[in-house]
Each structure stands twice: as C-alpha cells, then as structure tokens.
Structure 1
C-alpha cells in the first residue's frame, strides 16, 4: 500500500510532464499548416514571403517545405513554391482545371476566329491568376501568354474579373500586399478597392495597357455551379481593338461564357460555330 501513493502521484504527473511536448508538437503542426496555407493562397510564392505570412524564420520554412515536397503537397519551381498535384486534387482544383483544358480549346478558337485576336482562359490559383489555355491571333503582332504562366490578379481584365469574384480573404490579401506598377496604367490599391463591386455587377471588364503597353482586353466571368470558375478574355493591340471591336468581342464572350457554363454544369458536348 505504501507504494500505491507514489504510483498514484506519478500517474497524475505524467500528463503534466508530457504537456510541454504535446504543446510543442501542436505548435509545430500549426506552423506546418501555416506554411501550406501560405503556398495554397499565393499560388506561387518565395520562401521569404512564406516566412512573413507564417511568422517563422526562413530556415524553419525550408524544413517544413522539404516535408511538404516529399508528400507532393508543394512543388518547387526555380526558387518559388507552388501547390503540388496532391494538394490540387484534395482541393478539387485539379479536376476542374483538367475539365477546362479539355473543353476550352474549341470555344477559345471560336473566339479567336470571330475577333481575330488572342483568346485566353484564366483561373485563380490562390492570390494569382494562371493562363490555363489560349488560342493565339493569326496576326504577326499579337498578345500572348505562356500556358500555366502566373499573372497578378490586380492587372488585366481577366485577372481583375477573377479578383472581384474571389473570397473576401483573397481580396484582402491581394490589396494588403505590395503591388508593382507593371505599366503606367496598372491600377493602384485605391482604384481596385473602389471597383470590386462595379465589376461584379457589370459582368464584364475592359482594360487598356494594364499588363502590356498598348494592349486592349475584354473579359467576362464563367459562372458554373454557383461560383466563378474561370475568366474568358480576348486581347489585342489597341489600333485593331477600337470601340466597335470591343462591343462585338463582349457579345461573343458572353455567348461563349454561357455555353461553357452549360458544358460544365450539364456535361454536354461543346458545339462550335
């Protein structure tokens, strides 16, 4: 019986002694999640930005990124980090993007044939936009992006359409970070904040030289299953894209947007023409 008291005392002490280790593990787990959230929300980002977002040293970020890369939750791209295939599948983005790639080309080609200019399908990846698919203008002088190229959400018609329809946390994140004036016409933070509601209400957007000097772009959102899944844009040099062209491009974009939404919701086969 005399040994029962120390034994009982030990049983009470063990959880208390283990508590700091459990707390440490919890903190480590939370830090790892914060690193993953930073990459997921940014779409593509650098270690220094992740460290600032998560509030931890750069050396610690590298340690977590190594583990996340081994699990295919994060991938490295020439010094930057982006969501890996497994994270995209878990979020459902991978399947949606694959579907858009499969279905988007004939509709984009229709837009290019009708407008004579480059047609682009962009999606939001965290706090950036990505060129998922495009058909280029036949003209020698034309606007074009690289497939999978990441673009700022704050510049360009299609990108700002996606920003306006993003969750409030994403909008706050974009507006709260430094913005580079890519051209003299790149909108500033105050301008972006004022126009978010107008873009949502208008259903389309025209930009002039925000991302590329001398370019004009017209964009519309594609809404399916109750949310904006992508933006469709046609863009070309300003001398070819006057008021009449812009009106015609907007009408074509709206018609194609409605058909793409129908395809995504009903699984119908796209018809071009």
Structure 2
C-alpha cells in the first residue's frame, strides 16, 4: 500500500522531489527512497535531476498514445542538452485535444526561471510551443479554439483576431518567438517536431527577458533546430522498426 501511495503521489504532482512525496504520502524519506528504487527498476517512475516523474511503462499501460511514451524516452537527453547550451528551461509539449500538455522539461539552474509542471495542461493560444501546436492542428481543432472564450493571461496574450491572422505565417516560418504571452516578462523560442508528415510535439526554450536578448534567441533557435532534427530522426527510426500489423 505504501508503494502505491508513493506512485499516486508522483502521478498527481506530475513531478516531485523525495521530500515532497514523503510529506504527501505520510511516510519517512528513507522508505520513499526504497519504494522509488523498486518503481524505477520496473520503469514505472523515472528520476530526473533529483525529481521523479512517471515512467514510460506506466504511461504505456495507462493507455496514453504510444508516440508520447517514446517521446518521454527519447526526448529527455535532447531537453537536457538544450538547457545546458542555452542556460534556460527546455520543454517538450504535445497537443491533447484542444489543449497543450507539458510532457517533459528540464529546468534552468537559475533561481529565477520559467517552468511548468510535468503533465500540466496549457492553452493552445498562448506561448511559442503551444501556438505552434495550434497552427499545425486539424482545422476542426483550430476552429474550436478560435470559437471558445479565451482567457487573457497577460497583456500580451493574443486575441482571436491576431491568432487567425498569424496562423499561416506561424505554420510556414518553422519556428516561433513569443514574449510574455503566458508568463509576464518571459521569452520563448519554439520549433515543431515532425514525423510521418505530422507535427507530434514542439521543443521550446524559455527564460526571462533580461537574459534572453537577440543573441540568445538566435542561439536558441539554432540549438532547437538541431535538437528537433535529431528527435525526428530518432522517431522515424523507431517507427520504421515497428512490426507491420
């Protein structure tokens, strides 16, 4: 039962440290470590720089899309490389119906940083990675987002008129830079990742404006393009290895 409580704590928080899991489950830290070791051996949780998230096997068992489970497996090292090279938080996001979801991230080491929670749902209409997912979504998803009430998260959150006007350019540019659309004072640069002719996720790096000027944005864009190409190659290789049913 205690091991199940540990797993539930990780699932509900999306991303948690041992001390947080212990407080949530009401059991000693040493006991949490013991259960986490077993859960890691079973690929039910993963440890990422001192925090624990659900593992790929549990995601697969839960019925989430198979591609998402492979993105979890393949994406972390690329995200860490982006954070190492840019100094800022890197995020891998996917579309879940009419919302975006932070599937994985590696956080900046700076005390002041941009960050989300693992599995956090985000609006498709605000933020670089999210708006790329929206631009490449099926027409019915785009129409649904544009027809629904949209919350003004910050003064720079785009309205439906601006979204509609910029949709085509967002699709054709191959990347997107946004400033403060979802978090005040934040800059985000994102690229789409494609496989089999479809955008399956976006890669984003984001940080505060005072650290993320023009030179940083150019560097981030170059690093994202390279990481996106590598992830596409990995996904294509994985898809080619699947048995034909």
TM-score above 0.5: yes
Matched, 1:129 2:129: no
- Render the CA deviation track for 1:130-165: whole Å, top value 9, x for unaligned: 000000001010000000000000000000000000
Alignment of 1:147-226 (within 5 A): 147-226=118-197
- Render the CA deviation track for 1:181-217: whole Å, top value 9, x for unaligned: 0000000000000011001110000000000000000
1:105 alignment counterpart: 76
1:266 alignment counterpart: 237
* Aligned Cα root-mean-square deviation (Å): 1.7
Q: Which whole-Å CA distance do the structure 2 matches of 1:172 and 1:119 have between them? A: 29
Q: Which whole-Å CA distance do the structure 1 matches of 2:166 and 2:172 have between them? A: 10
Structure 1 length normalisation: TM-score?
Answer: 0.64
Which of the residues 256, 259, 262 maps onto 2:227?
A: 256
Deviation at residue 225 of structure 1 after TM alignment: 1.1
Q: Which whole-Å CA distance do the structure 2 matches of 1:153 and 1:187 have between them? A: 11
Runs of 4+ aligned residues of structure 1 deviating over 3 Å after TM superposition are none
Point out the structure with the larger helix share: 1
Q: Which whole-Å CA distance do the structure 1 matches of 2:202 and 2:238 have between them? A: 19
1:141 alignment counterpart: 112
Q: Which whole-Å CA distance do the structure 2 matches of 1:158 and 1:106 have between them? A: 19
Deviation at residue 267 of structure 1 after TM alignment: 2.8
Larger Rg computed on CA atoms: 1
Q: Which whole-Å CA distance do the structure 1 matches of 2:75 and 2:134 have between them? A: 21
- Render the CA deviation track for 1:12-36: whole Å, top value 9, x for unaligned: xxxxxxxxxxxxxxxxxxxxxxxxx
Q: What secondary structure is seen at the aligned counterpart in 1 of 2:93?
A: strand
Q: Which whole-Å CA distance do the structure 2 matches of 1:246 and 1:145 have between them? A: 20
Q: Which whole-Å CA distance do the structure 2 matches of 1:228 and 1:267 have between them? A: 16
Q: Which whole-Å CA distance do the structure 1 matches of 2:171 and 2:164 have between them? A: 12
Deviation at residue 94 of structure 1 after TM alignment: 1.9
Q: Which whole-Å CA distance do the structure 2 matches of 1:192 and 1:128 have between them? A: 15
